[in-house]
Amino acid sequence: MKRVFHYIGGEFRPPSAGNYLEDLDPATGEVIAEVADGDATDIDAAVAAASRAFPSWRRTPAEERSSLLMRLADLIEENFEELAALESLDSGKPIALARRLDVPRAVRNFRFFATAILHAETKCHPMDDRALNYTLRQPVGVAGLISPWNLPLYLLTWKVAPAVAAGNCCVAKPSELTPLTANRLAELAREAGFPPGVINVVQGRGAGAGRALTAHPDVPLISFTGGTRTGADVMALAGPLFKKVSLELGGKNPNIVFADADLEEAVATSISSSFSNQGEICLCGSRIFVERTIYDDFLARFLDRAKKLEVGDPQDPSTEVGALISEAHLRKVSGYVALAREEGGEVLCGGKRPTSLPERLRGGWFLEPTVVTGLDCSRRVMQEEIFGPVVTVTPFDTPDEAVAFANSSRYGLSASVWTRDLGKAHRVAAAIECGTVWVNTWLLRDLRVPFGGMKESGVGREGGFESLDFFTEAKNVCIKL
Ligand code: NAD
Residues 6+ apart with CB under 8 A from 8: 42, 45, 46, 49, 200, 201, 202
Tell me: pLDDT of 169 over 90: yes
Residue located nearest, by CA, to atom 26 of ligand 1: 148
Averaged pLDDT for residues 414-443: 98
Among 432, 427, 461, smallest CA distance to 255 is for 432
pLDDT mean over 197-201: 99
What per-residue confidence (pLDDT) applies to 237?
98
Distances (CA, A) of 137 to 50, 167, 362, 364: 20, 10, 54, 48
| Contacts (Cβ under 8 Å, ≥6 apart) of 381 | 336, 339, 340, 343, 345, 372, 375, 390, 392
Cβ–ligand 1 contact at 173 (below 6 Å): yes
Identify the band that residue 142 occupies on the pLDDT scale cut at 50, 70 and 90: very high
313-368 pLDDT per residue, tens: 999 999 999 999 999 999 999 999 999 999 999 999 999 999 989 999 999 999 99
Distance 19 CA to ligand 1 centre (A): 22
Would you state the pLDDT for residue 480?
98
pLDDT in the model for residue 354:
96
359: CB partners within 8 A, 6+ apart: none
* DSSP H helices in 166-193: 180-192
DSSP 239: G
CA of 333 to the centre of ligand 1 (A): 16
Q: Is the CB of 282 under 6 A from ligand 1?
A: yes
Residue-wise pLDDT for 49-72, tens only, equals 999 999 999 999 999 999 999 999
Q: Is the pLDDT of residue 272 over 90?
A: yes
- DSSP for 333-377, written as a single string: HHHHHHHHHHTT-EEEE--S--TT--GGGTTS-----EEEES--T
Our answer on whether the CB atom of 148 is closer than 6 Å to any ligand 1 atom is yes
* Of 222, 226, 284, 232, residue with least CA distance to 250: 226
Ligand 1 probe mutation, 180, 203, 282, 462, most atoms within 8 A of CB: 282
Q: From CA 113, how far away is CA 70, in angstroms rounded? A: 9
CB of residue 384 inside a 6 A radius of ligand 1: no
Mean predicted confidence (pLDDT) in 397-413? 98
Confidence band, pLDDT 50/70/90 cuts, at residue 453: very high
Taking residues 122-138, report their average pLDDT.
97
Q: Give the pLDDT confidence score for residue 362 in this predicted structure.
A: 94
Once rounded to an integer, what is the mean pLDDT over residues 243-271? Answer: 98
pLDDT band at 309, cuts 50/70/90?
very high
Binding site membership of 37 for ligand 1 (Cβ less than 6 Å): no
Rounded-to-integer distance, Cα 127 and Cα 114, Å = 34
pLDDT of residue 392: 98
Average pLDDT over residues 191-216: 98
Q: How many helices and strands, by DSSP H and E, does the chain display?
A: 16, 23
Q: What percent of the chain has pLDDT over 70?
A: 100
Confidence band (pLDDT; 50, 70, 90) for 1?
confident
Q: Are 452 and 248 in contact (CB under 8 A)?
A: yes
How far apart (Å, rounded) are the C-alpha atoms in residues 477 and 14? 45
What is the pLDDT averaged over residues 390-410? 98
pLDDT greater than 90 at residue 12: yes
CA dist 257 and 414 (Å) reads: 15
119 CA from centroid of ligand 1 (Å):
32
CB of 184 closer than 6 A to ligand 1? no
Encoded amino acid at 119, one letter = H
Residue 159 Cβ < 6 Å to ligand 1: no
Per-residue confidence at 121, pLDDT binned at 50, 70, 90?
very high
pTM above 0.95, yes or no: yes
pLDDT at 225: 98
Active centre residues (catalytic): 248, 282
In angstroms, what is the C-alpha Rg of the chain?
A: 23
Residue 158: name the closest of 239, 101, 90, 219 by CA.
Answer: 101
**Confidence bin at 425 (pLDDT 50/70/90):** very high
**456 near 249, Cβ under 8 Å?**
yes
Q: How many angstroms separate the alpha carbon of residue 289 from the centre of ligand 1? A: 27
Taking the CA atoms of residue 331, residue 335, residue 338 and residue 344 in that order, the dihedral angle to the nearest 10 degrees is -160
Find all residues with CB under 8 Å of 455, minimum gap 6, and list them.
Answer: 409, 410, 411, 412, 433
* Mean of per-residue pLDDT scores for the chain: 98
DSSP 144: E
Question: Ligand 1 center to residue 459 CA distance, Å?
Answer: 14
How confident is the model over 103-123, as a mean pLDDT?
97
- Mean pLDDT over 167-177 rounds to 99
- Dihedral of the CA atoms 373, 377, 381, 383 (nearest 10)? 150
